[in-house]
Amino acid sequence: MSQRLYLDVSVIQTVPPSNLNRDDSGSPKHATFGGVQRARVSSQAWKRATRLHYAEATPEADRATRTKKMLELLTQRITARTGLHAEAGQRLAAALLEPLGIKKSLKKEEQSAYLLFFGKPQLDKIVDLVEERAGELAELDAKKLSAELKDLDVAGVLTTGHPAEVALFGRMVADIPRLNVDAATQVAHALSTHPVKTEFDYYTAVDDENPDGETGAGMIGNVEFNAATLYRYATVGIHQLRDNLSDDTETALTARRFVESFALSMPTGHQNSFAHRTVPQLVLLALRTDQPVNLVSAFEKPVSGRTSGIAEQSVGKLAEEFTVMSDTWDLKPTLTLATYSQFENIADKTQEAFGASLPLPELLERAHTAVAEWLNSRGDQR
């Protein structure tokens, strides 16, 4: 069996009144766990927040994008680099993409039927295949153009050289399996560590131009919200990430940047109404060579908040679960790193379980080094 390394990331984070991720009726999402209703933020919501945070540090030209407008983006690149007019550029772009078998939208033929996740540099490499002959190819009829392009490996371009976001989060195209990319990252739904009830904010808006004698609101409405201390979890298969990226240095850097983005990102639902941006009380990393371990079972019995703050109790319960799980199931990490708030009542417990708290930059640097060393140690086995 090939060597495997998993990077588990657990986060405890308190969020004030907010509606981070709403359902189809506008209510904050929730779930029943441990017999009580919990606040929930879907994995998709936090993956998107993480991906966008990650992309902020990536030059625009090197980013990934998830869109139905692949044809439009490829057309723009073809016309910009070859001088073809828009109609000819779109015709050539469509001919390049046709062999992939991407289904077209029933409503807009120029768009795909589903979102496609790919790297913008991959589009540039597709243009490389035809740039020198673009003018000649644009003059051919449909049948001859198809024949000229049939041997170009467009699919090969889209299945290699993945940007980090695609390598992390993967790509699934159900009807074109050869375009699939196995995700290196799994993200759990965030759950509150305690019971949560949805509340309602009734608001009114006054028309500023109303005359003094006219009373009443110009608009009324309500927004649902909750407040919660959340347990968040994600794991990165470093071995899969390396397979997707094909480069040790890029793999170690991507793992480091993922941890930072997962820890510091925040979904943006109703952000202007609630200003809910907070940072975690705990970021815990565990490097494992056996299997990933989600520690949410620490909160199957919900935190009460009666004896101390909910965040403090949540960090303490996570420390207990981490220790018991490691000893009982012999699933001890090869390395544990943590950044956490200093709660006086549980200081000994947290330090014994997680080690001393590190400033986040130091935690990221040490994780980066550990991943790089592991990759280097398995180099001869690939």
- Provide the pLDDT for residue 164: 92
Confidence of residue 260 (pLDDT cuts 50, 70, 90): very high
Examine the pLDDT at 379 and tell me if it is beyond 80: no
Q: How far apart are CA 276 and CA 128, in angstroms?
A: 45
- Provide the pLDDT for residue 1: 43
- Provide the pLDDT for residue 177: 86
pLDDT in tens, 66-115: 899 999 999 999 999 999 999 999 999 999 998 888 888 878 888 998 88
Q: Helices in the chain by DSSP H: which ranges?
A: 43-56, 70-82, 86-97, 120-130, 134-138, 142-149, 154-158, 164-169, 238-245, 248-264, 271-274, 310-329, 347-354, 360-377
Q: Count CB-CB contacts under 10 A for residue 233.
A: 22
Find all residues with CB under 8 Å of 274, minimum gap 6, and list them: 16, 17, 18, 19, 225
pLDDT in tens, 198-225: 999 887 777 777 777 677 667 778 899 9
Q: How far apart are CA 285 and CA 377, in angstroms?
A: 21
Supply the DSSP symbol for 104.
B
- Provide the pLDDT for residue 72: 94
Q: What percent of the chain has pLDDT over 70?
A: 97
pLDDT in tens, 319-329: 999 999 999 99
Q: What is the mean pLDDT of the chain?
A: 92
- Provide the pLDDT for residue 222: 85
Angle at 54 between CA 51 and CA 56, to 5 degrees: 115
Q: How far apart are CA 362 and CA 356, in angstroms?
A: 12
pLDDT in tens, 123-161: 999 999 999 999 999 999 999 999 999 889 999 999 888
- Provide the pLDDT for residue 82: 93
Cα 36 to chain centroid, rounded: 28
pLDDT in tens, 159-173: 888 899 999 999 988
Q: How far apart are CA 137 and CA 379, in angstroms?
A: 44
